[in-house]
Amino acid sequence: MKRSYTIAIVLVVLGFLAFQSASQEYERIQQRIEVTQAKVDRVADESAAAIADVRRVIASVVDRFSKSNDSDLQFREMVSSEFGKLRQEIEKPVEQPKEIIQDALKKASSKIVMHSGDNCTPCNRWIANSLPVWQSKGWEIEILKETETTRSWPWFEVYLPSGKRFEVDGPLTMESYERALKGLE
């Protein structure tokens, strides 16, 4: 009987030690789960912020394209109006020599004169990227390669069909064109 008490006491002690060990392991696992959950929550917050940033960028791009399309439409309407006025004048029945009519047609074209340097990176970039766009819109482009200037390259002279002329410093964009055009009014 003494032996069965001893076995019972040993079993109780072993059970207590096993319970203690299991409790400590459970606590350690629970702490790791809390740390992992905190990391998951942080990643979720960062993902939500990133998604919000992406949505803002997309909205900005959409807005910029819609403004660009509006600006392009205004530009086309302005050029069309200028050409329409000149065409009406040219088409008036007049008895004038052929040379005068040809001179009027030459003046009706829109022309851009680009002042550029040989190793001018912004100039070369404009020639590669923007020149084809302006030409596709009906502009005649002349490029003057200069070796000396008192101005920074590139700079542009813009000649309108109406005979108006203005200059733009820096790469010619629709925005810089419109700003300079508004300065004429």
Question: Which of 111, 119, 125, 113 lies closest to 171, judged by CA?
Answer: 125
183: left (phi over 0), alpha (psi -120 to 50) or beta: alpha
Predicted confidence (pLDDT) per residue in 134-153, tens digit: 998 889 999 999 888 888 89
Range 92-106 average pLDDT:
54
Predicted confidence (pLDDT) per residue in 63-77, tens digit: 776 666 666 677 777
Rounded distance between C-alpha atoms, residue 63 and residue 58, angstroms: 8
Domains of the chain: 109-185 (3.40.30.10)
Predicted confidence (pLDDT) per residue in 148-185, tens digit: 888 889 999 998 888 888 999 999 999 999 888 888 76
